[in-house]
């Protein structure tokens, strides 16, 4: 099932993430949580990385390490591009280096966990 669903999950999620990153969110209610924005960025890009890993691994049949590397790199570059676009295209959003760091850390942690899971499966 993941083979068929991976691409149909990854593409809409990627589009939704890009849309949410570039629209005006000033009318949205504020979440009173310390570092809530950074936690959201971390989790959003962890999920993005996981979804694209599924595409690369199951759909495109890349080896584990190559699938993880491609997913992590894609998520990090995508996050950096969106942060730059926020700073250049939108008057109501701004580039935040800490958001880009949170995005990258979410993708990197997902990559590490996927590689660790792969090593555990190989040993069994």
The domain spans of the chain are 2-8+42-123
Q: Residue holding tokens 């109501």?
A: 92
What is the average pLDDT across 14-41?
81
Least Cα distance to 118 among 68, 72, 84 occurs for 68
User: What residues have CB less than 8 Å from 109, skipping those under 6 apart?
Assistant: 42, 46
Reported as a single tens digit per residue, the pLDDT across 47-102 is: 999 999 999 999 999 999 999 999 999 999 999 999 999 999 888 888 889 999 99
The confidence band for 34, taking pLDDT boundaries of 50, 70 and 90, is low
The confidence band for 122, taking pLDDT boundaries of 50, 70 and 90, is low
Q: Tell whether the torsion through CA atoms of 29, 31, 45 and 92 is positive or negative.
A: positive
pLDDT, the chain, mean: 89
Measured between alpha carbons, how far is residue 109 from residues 1, 42, 43, 46, 68 in Å? 25, 9, 10, 7, 11
């Amino acid at each position: 099932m993941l083979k068929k669903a991976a691409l149909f999950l990854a593409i809409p999620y990627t589009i939704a993430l890009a849309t949410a990153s570039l629209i005006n969110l000033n009318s949205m209610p504020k979440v009173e949580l310390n570092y809530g924005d950074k936690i959201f960025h971390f989790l959003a890009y962890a999920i993005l990385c996981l979804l694209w890993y599924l595409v690369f691994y199951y759909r495109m049949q890349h080896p584990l390490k190559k699938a993880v590397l491609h997913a992590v790199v894609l998520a990090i570059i995508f996050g950096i591009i969106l942060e730059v676009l926020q700073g250049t295209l939108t008057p109501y959003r701004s580039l935040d280096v800490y958001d880009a760091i949170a995005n990258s850390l979410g993708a990197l942690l997902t990559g590490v966990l996927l590689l660790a899971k792969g090593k555990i499966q190989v040993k069994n």
